[in-house]
Amino acid sequence: MVAPSLLAKLTVKSAVLLIPSPSPLQTLRSRLGAHARTCQFFPFQRVSISTSTSYRPDKHRAATPSNSPDTSPYPFRIFHDDISSLRKYRGEINHNGRTVGLVPTMGALHEGHLALIRAAAAENSDVFVSIFVNPTQFGPTEDLATYPRTWDDDMEKLSALNNKLTFPNGLGRISAVFAPGVRTMYPTLPPSSDVDGAGSFVTITPLANRLEGASRPTFFRGVATVCTKLFNIIQPERVYFGQKDVQQSVLINRMVQDFHIPTEVRVVATTREEDGLAMSSRDVYLGQRRRQVAPILHGALRAAETEYDEGRLSRTEMFGAAIHFLETERLKLADRGLGGVEFELDYISVADMEEMNEIKDEVDPRRGAIISGALKMLPVKDPQTEEERAQKPVRLIDSIILTPVISVNNFQH
């Protein structure tokens, strides 16, 4: 069993701050016990692995310069394809009684990624950041080719952050960046994005088929596969994921548990723009007008959260509040001069924290829940600039944890 994750610890804080005082939920919390606290469960799930031996050319090699660790111009080592050097370096860290926290990313780093690195530096002597645009988690029609790749900018951000991580601001610092090519990560098998494509894959079902997985059928197979590889190569004591991709965090927790991977999973609260939009590398695709509308997804989830905070636990009411918010905001767009901006809701989900199964009736406040949603920002219907004429749909996801309330007393007897 993995240690209770930061998911509970970090989100509790923000969720409690959002609760009006005194709310019915707080009343309930005090009824449940003065020492009420939160907890996270990740019960067992079926896992299957499929393999194949066919091979196809590497089409998506990472566009990053190749410099050996010793010639890195940055205050950390950079490893591309030399896994044995990386392992040797990692072994030395182990030998010296230090610990490694791994932050897996696809680059195009922003404050959300940096928050994960700060969390890793707070409890590990050495932080490894991986940067790998993993082809197997992109569907055949998704944006693999155009996914933002900003190597120099990323290195600058990591260097600047490292300078600030000096003790006492952080226990550790960034020691290494691992930015492998596709052939290194997929040495003998094709990185297929097809649902029934061949490859050595890790699949976590049925979790991977729900919500995000329903819209992106190979996404979680790609994520689980690449994370297994990263965990095997780096063997970190701890790994850090963002709550923004909440289903991914639940899936990784499940995978680590089911495969007995000796690492602890930490989940870090979502970093947001001032207007509530969850930061994402894909936000750069939005353009100026769609960007102004993008925070509505967070607004819709907050509307559902308010129902819970005020003691209305019915899934239907939470769902209804979110939809009502979206439709009201849609009607206001023309008045805001944003009549050309259109969006399509993919889903709003109120699900349990263990399996992300939809809650059918009422949220049990002792168990809490995850409200998540996905929304597609469509290309503007009256493009006025080159950028707008070239727009493609941008999918936004977001989530909020409904704080579980568990009486310690319940467990003492």
Residues involved in catalysis: 113
Q: Does 394 bind ligand AMP (CB under 6 A)?
A: no
Q: Does 154 bind ligand AMP (CB under 6 A)?
A: no
253 contributes a contact to ligand AMP by CB under 6 A: no
Question: Does the footprint of ligand AMP cover residue 241 (CB under 6 A)?
Answer: yes
Among 165, 279, 296, 394, binds ligand AMP (CB under 6 A): 279
Token readout for 183 is: 């052939």
Stretch that binds ligand AMP, among 10-18, 69-77, 277-285, 324-332 (CB under 6 A): 277-285
Per-residue tokens: 178: 């691992």
Counting contacts by CB under 6 A, is residue 374 touching ligand AMP? no
Question: Please, how many CA atoms are within 13 Å of residue 300, restricted to the half-sphere of its CB?
Answer: 31
Q: How far apart are CA 185 and CA 81, in angstroms?
A: 9
Dmax over CA atoms of the chain, in Å, equals 67
Residues 199-238, mask of contacts with ligand AMP (x by CB under 6 A): ----------------------------------------
b/e burial code for range 357-382 (CB count within 10 A of at least 16 → b) = eebeeebebbbbbbbbbbbebebbee
Residue 133, C-beta contacts closer than 8 angstroms, at least 6 positions apart = 60, 62, 106, 107, 144, 147, 149
Considering the complex, state which of residue 177 and residue 268 has its C-beta at the smaller distance from ligand AMP: 268
Name which position in 15, 78, 115, 341 contacts ligand AMP (CB under 6 A). Answer: 115
Q: Which of 105, 136, 184, 306 binds ligand AMP (CB under 6 A)?
A: 105
Smaller CB distance to ligand AMP: residue 333 or 356? 356
Q: How far apart are the first and last CA of the chain?
A: 22
> Crossing angle for the helix pair 219-234 and 246-258, nearest 10 degrees?
50
The residue among 191, 211, 180, 153 whose CA lies nearest residue 397 is: 211
Pick from 185, 189, 255: which is nearest to 220 by CA? 255
Among 38, 64, 76, 112, which residue sits at the site for ligand AMP (rule: CB under 6 A)? 112
Q: Which is nearer to ligand AMP, 120 or 303 (CB)?
A: 120
Binding region for ligand AMP (CB under 6 A)? 105-106, 112-113, 115-116, 241-242, 244-245, 268, 270-271, 278-281
